[in-house]
Amino acid sequence: MLDMKWMQEHQEVQAEIQRVADQKGIKLSVAELMELDDQRRMLLQTVEGLRQQRNAFTQEISGFIRMNKPAEAEVTKQQVQHINAQLNELEAELRGLENEYNQRLILVPNIVSPDTPPGTSDQDNVEIRRVGEPPVFAFEQKDHVQLGELHRLMDIPRGVRTAGTRSYYLTGIGAWLHRAVQQLAVDMLVAKGFTLMDVPLTVRTEAMENTAFFPLGQDQAFRLAEEDKWLAGTSEVPLVSYYSGEIVEVTTPIRMAAASLCFRSEVGSGGRDVHGLYRVHQFAKVEQVIVCEGDQDTSERLLQEITWNAEELLQKLELPYRVVAVCVGDMSQKTYKQYDIETWMPSRNAYGETHSSSNLLDFQARRSNIRYRDAEGKLRYCHTLNNTAVASPRILIPLLENHQLADGSIHIPVALRPYMNGLERIQAPGDAAETADHAE
């Protein structure tokens, strides 16, 4: 949510917001919103004037009664009745205007940073840097599904049979690897001063709206039948909501992390990325969320920090990746500036998105009413940021594919070995007994 007064006072801001809404595909007329706001404020002024007049007449009636002047009291009562009739009509009109105004206001996108690339899709994202080189295989490579089946790391057919499309089982070392990358990410973040939290997986509509995942992202969420609750698609929602409606202390930025299951309906992705583990309904994510003072230099610095945290994890996993600046049209409604990190996936012969870092400025905090007192004691809205430290099972795609060896075994990165009882390789099928010993 943006400051409406600020929008009203700056024509250039209105033009910029309209441009951003158009590029993000948000059906919104900023001019109509401004006109509705004018009408709403003028009508509210009229209504408040009538209410004050009614209150004054009511006091007069009490005075007339005390002075035993029934005729004057009766005349004034009739004036109050006339005002009440006017108010009934105008208040109904005001409620209608307020409803229409709020429905449009909630669609207003955040402004975007000056260095955000223009564009309408991920094809317009701009590469910033690459780290590591994609492997060159001297043998016929396998994709992650083939490797998973070979080593019994996953079972997609049974997952589909049990839960429908985009479902899976991770089995044996596959499940172990899934847990290991999450724990590595958690330990990294805790060592960097993040507070680890276990969060609700179901949240109310209000929490989704306050964090700006609704109304535009509502089709991506699963709702609990006959309840005002939704399965969270990211722990960003409950983490930010933890401070909803509060005045917080942000002399030191609040750093939170959560490892949680996440759920997304993937509406609109039918036919895309249906092979394997790339786009699934249920996954696990270690999320970073920061709440800080409302200063752009501070939140920009923290954006670089959380992006580096994700990069550091990928380097520990010994995976080649690149960082891209996300264009306007590929960012969500709430985002001011975003980086995506894409990891090399041999089976796709391309980089695939595995991480995302976003700076929201005060957009999310305004909707969630999260404030702090600045040096002068004035209440201000915080800035919020978020980043995917790691998401699994998607990260298993590059982890398995990049580290496959000629004999069919899979290299385990050094940083993961302490979480897997020292296992150095997922052995080739001929060495299944050794692999089983490590897995027990």
Catalytic residue among 356, 358, 368, 409: 356
130, 179, 279, 348: which is the annotated catalytic residue? Answer: 279
Catalytic choice (54, 104, 264, 366): 264
- Which letter does DSSP use for residue 118 in this model? P
The three-point CA angle 296-13-96 to 5° equals 110
Closest CA to 401 of 131, 150, 130, 123: 150
Catalytic residue among 104, 166, 371, 394: 394
Catalytic residue among 287, 342, 353, 401: 353
DSSP string, 77-115: HHHHHHHHHHHHHHHHHHHHHHHHHHHHHTTPPPP--TT
CA separation, residue 439 to residues 185, 422, 426, 427, 434 (Å): 21, 10, 10, 11, 9
- DSSP secondary structure letter of residue 404: B
In the residue annotation, 353 being an active-site residue is answered as yes
Label residue 236 exposed, middle or buried (CB < 10 Å: 0-12, 13-18, 19+): buried
**Residues 417, 413: Cα–Cα separation, whole Å:** 7
Say whether 264 is catalytic.
Answer: yes
Q: Which two tokens stand for residue 276?
A: 């394997």
Whether residue 246 lies in the annotated active site: no
Q: Which sequence positions are flagged as catalytic?
A: 264, 279, 353, 356, 394
